Amino acid sequence: MKQAQFEAAYGPLWSEIDTLLDKRAEGREALPEQYRRLCQCLALASQRGYSPQLVSYLHGLVARCHHALYGVAAERPTVLLQWLRLDLPRRVRAEWKLLLLVLLCLLGPAIAIGLLVWHDSHNAFMFASPEELTRMHQMYSPSSLKTGRGGSEGDLQMFGHYIWNNVSIGFRTFASGIFGGVPALLSVLFNGMKMGVVAAWLSLDPATRSNFWSFVVTHSSFELTGLVLSGVAGLRLGMALVKPGRLSRRRALQEASIEMYPVVAGAALLTVLAAFFEAFWSASGFPPAVKYSVGAVCWALVFLFFGFAGRGKGVHATR
């Protein structure tokens, strides 16, 4: 068969496929069958030595069909819910060793430095500049806490700031963890250090003590958990590079990132939640007793969730 006859015989099929590919999903039922015929056309055209233009045209059409047919993701409308309910707590529990390590890196310096500063307040200047401490002190002094933000718009401003700042820190902690986990641990360590200094410094002065603790108690439950989870995910990525086990390093990295993906998403969601509480609840005018109770409930929820959610359902994990 000459090329012109071939084109005349199959041209309608090709243009039909072409128009089908330009459209969205409707009417695609016929595509698999047409795709097989198109592949046959391509095989014939290249075997019979038709012009390279025709062959590359058919080849391009086949490639587009391939994308359209095989590139469709199965629809999983409940996958986010499933992650949050099952995969997130399960994977965090599965990495309990890394979780302990990250917690140690966060709380270790925080408690040690906190005690040091509590013991002798001059020690605080080893870890923070006097200006910073004065600024912190002013922020939590009784006179500025209520007037500092200037109403609901100020709250909203802080919400935007917390989202931009804190969620980005979580993402960076995770991503930088790929270098053997060291940067992720350093990020956690640094935050723990800062936490210890500020908490101890503000607790030393009875004027700021209650303000500070009632301010942070609620949102810290979500924010610290978010940071710890980002740290765990980053560390897991780094461990895949350091200790890939029986996989190649490349493969181990891919597996680790797939496993830690729900954890990173969960950490980001927790940080957003923390930003919400920090902006709209923590600085509100409720008496400290109410804030402490709400904070206690939030901390309990976090512990209960990561301790017990997703156990014994017999539902297999999503990939």
For residue 266, the tally of other CB atoms under 10 A from its CB is 25
**DSSP 8-state code for residue 99:** H
Residue-wise over 118-127: b if at least 16 C-beta within 10 A, else e?
A: beeeebbeeb
d(CA 256, CA 243): 11
**Cβ contact 235:177 at 8 Å:** yes
Q: Which amino acid is located at 50 in the chain?
A: Y
Which lies closer to another protein via its Cβ, residue 161 or residue 313? 161
In 3D space, the residue among 75, 87, 99 whose CA is nearest the CA of residue 265 turns out to be 87
Q: Is 108 in the site for another protein (CB under 8 A)?
A: no
Q: Is 67 in the site for another protein (CB under 8 A)?
A: yes
Q: Is 159 in the site for another protein (CB under 8 A)?
A: yes
The interface with another protein within residues 252-271 (CB under 8 A) comprises 253-254, 257-258, 261, 264
Contacts of residue 32, defined as CB under 8 A and 6 or more positions apart, other chains included, come to 69
Among 20, 28, 44, 64, binds another protein (CB under 8 A): 64
Which lies closer to another protein via its Cβ, residue 254 or residue 293? 254
Smallest distance, another protein to C-beta of residue 53, A:
4
Which lies closer to another protein via its Cβ, residue 174 or residue 305? 174
Q: Is 204 in the site for another protein (CB under 8 A)?
A: no
Residues in the site for another protein, rule: CB under 8 A? 2-4, 7, 14, 35-36, 39, 42-43, 49-54, 56-57, 59-64, 66-67, 70-71, 73, 150, 153-154, 156-161, 163-164, 167-168, 171-172, 174-179, 183, 237, 250, 253-254, 257-258, 261, 264
